[in-house]
Structures are given as C-alpha cells and as structure tokens.
Amino acid sequence: MTGVDPSRLDDLQLMKELETIHRTRHDTLLYGSNDALRAHNERMAQLEGEYLRRNPRRLVSAGRTREGARERGCGEAATPGT
C-alpha cells in the first residue's frame, strides 16, 4: 500500500487526502501509466471507503440519486444548496 493507512488519518487529514486524490484524478487517467492508474484507483478506493465508514449518515442530495436524476431538468444543479 502507498501512503498512510486511511484509518490512521484524522478527519482533517482524510479530507485533505481525498481532495488531493480527486484533484489529480483526471491527469492520472489521461497521462499516467497503467501502474500509476492502478495505484491511484486503489488509494482512492481506500480513502473513499474510510470516509464512508466514518460518515454512514452523510447528506445525500436527492438530485444525486437515480430518481432525482430522472426528475431533474436539463441544467439544474444536483448538489445540495446550489
């Protein structure tokens, strides 16, 4: 495994790691080697899994569900508060 075990990160560190990995995702997909993409996928899954474990009751926007997407008109925001 690359990086600190996500379960050992405090909440602030976990969010910082998630923000970083999501920010670098596009470039890794477009320009990274297969090994780099595989490592990125694994690390992202670990970090996201830890986030979900810690936040099982996180806010879910109705617009981000299948039913909400069907009801959403073209151009409507799908995130809370937007």
Say if residue 17 is exposed, middle or buried (CB neighbours under 10 Å; 0-12, 13-18, 19+).
buried
pLDDT digits (tens, 9 = 90+) for 49-75: 999 999 999 988 888 788 877 887 655
Q: Locate tokens 């997407």: which residue?
A: 69
Evaluate whether 46 touches 40 at the Cβ level (below 8 Å): no
Q: What span, in angstroms and rounded, lies between the C-alpha atoms of 63 and 76?
A: 9
What pLDDT score was predicted for residue 74? 57
pTM: 0.77
